[in-house]
Amino acid sequence: MKTALAYFFSLLVILLFSSLFLVSCKSKQPLETKTETTAINYDSINKLQIITVNREIIDSLKIVIGRIYTDKKECDSVCQIAVDRLLAQLNTKKTSGDNSFGAFYDKKDKSLNFNARVGATKSDSSSFTKIIYRTKTVYSHTDIPVNRPIPKWQLILMIIGAGTIGFFILKLILFFRTKIPV
């Protein structure tokens, strides 16, 4: 019974020292550098507006109607009176907004007058371009290895620790050889 108990405790001691040895020799983790770059590209608003303004037009036309001459004087006067009476009935005027048109006969001047007025016009054309955003995010990840030299006092302690562990392992092996019959 004592030998089984000795085996069990010696196995526990070996596991404890080997786990301490493995954990103490762990290397340091490298440092990480993470960078994030965001680039925004955009197209601007383009608004184009063309306005064309035409001024108003005032136009008049005067047509002088001469006397009627034929070989017969009686016929001239009768025809002239008929033409004057017919042209006197020509009197019209039309209006729509800023636009107007008129035609009339002036007995004094014996002329046919046409008057036209076209109001100012404005034409407007526009084009519109909206903004387009494009966002691009770039992530970069780099590891920076840690290369620090070990201080001398730490190196001396590591050598002493390794020697101590080696000494205990040697003592355990000798202990078991003497207790185990071959």
pLDDT per residue as tens digits for the range 68-123: 777 777 888 888 888 888 888 888 889 888 889 999 888 888 888 999 998 888 88
Using one digit for the tens of pLDDT, what is the confidence trace for 125-171?
877 777 777 777 777 777 766 666 778 888 899 899 999 999 998 88
Tally the residues of the chain: 182
Tell me, what amino acid is at 14? I
Between 26 and 136, whose confidence is greater?
Answer: 136
Q: Which two tokens stand for residue 83?
A: 């033409």
Give dist(CA 45, CA 172) in Å, integer: 84
Tell me, what amino acid is at 90? L
Tell me, what amino acid is at 127? S
Lowest-confidence segment of 30-34, 37-41, 66-70 by average pLDDT? 30-34
